[in-house]
């Protein structure tokens, strides 16, 4: 499973279309993560939106580690129990079609957090603007 697929599975219920619809690895890369969702995200639109902020806030309440998941991709990945190493973040950047320099980790991390939140919204998540960057 892809890193983003794992993120979806940690936040969305297993029955949610974002988790049950097969991913299309041949789909062309999105030029802009803020662009309108393509047809691969359409099945999720029919499901009840998942309140991403509420799910993540609840997860944070159930851990003793204080994580800044609202702005940090590293902390978001830690909250979800995922590998947050630079190599994992570079892999996620590849999945989400990051076109910047992956050696500039600060810029990549900012982009990744925004892109993940945008993709969660595109797949049926209710994501407040404050989390979209």
pLDDT tens-digit profile of 22-57?
544 334 444 454 444 444 444 444 668 999 999 999
Percent of the chain with pLDDT over 90: 71
Question: What distance in Å separates the CA atoms of residue 79 and residue 83, rounded to the nearest whole number?
Answer: 10
Residue 95's domain comprises 3-131
Average pLDDT in the 96-125 region?
A: 97
Question: What distance in Å separates the CA atoms of residue 37 and residue 55, rounded to the nearest whole number?
Answer: 22
Q: What is the pLDDT of residue 34?
A: 46
Average pLDDT in the 3-7 region?
A: 96
Domain count, the chain: 1
Cα distances (Å, whole numbers) of residue 43 to 21, 46, 132:
7, 6, 22
Q: pTM for the complete prediction?
A: 0.79
Greatest Cα pair distance in the chain: 40
**Is 82 or 133 the better-scoring residue by pLDDT?**
82
Q: Look at residue 68 and tell me whether its pLDDT is greater than 90.
A: yes
């Amino acid at each position: 499973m892809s890193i983003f697929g794992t993120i979806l599975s940690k936040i969305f219920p297993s029955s949610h279309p974002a988790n049950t619809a097969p991913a299309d690895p041949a789909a062309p890369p999105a030029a802009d993560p803020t662009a309108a969702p393509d047809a691969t995200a359409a099945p999720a639109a029919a499901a009840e939106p998942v309140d991403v902020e509420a799910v993540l806030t609840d997860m944070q309440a159930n851990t003793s580690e204080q994580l800044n998941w609202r702005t940090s991709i590293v902390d978001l990945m830690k909250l979800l129990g995922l590998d947050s190493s630079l190599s994992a973040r570079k892999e996620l950047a590849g999945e989400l079609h990051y076109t910047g320099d992956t050696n500039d980790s600060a810029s990549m991390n900012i982009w990744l957090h925004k892109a993940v939140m945008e993709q969660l919204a595109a797949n049926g998540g209710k994501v407040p603007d404050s989390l979209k960057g």
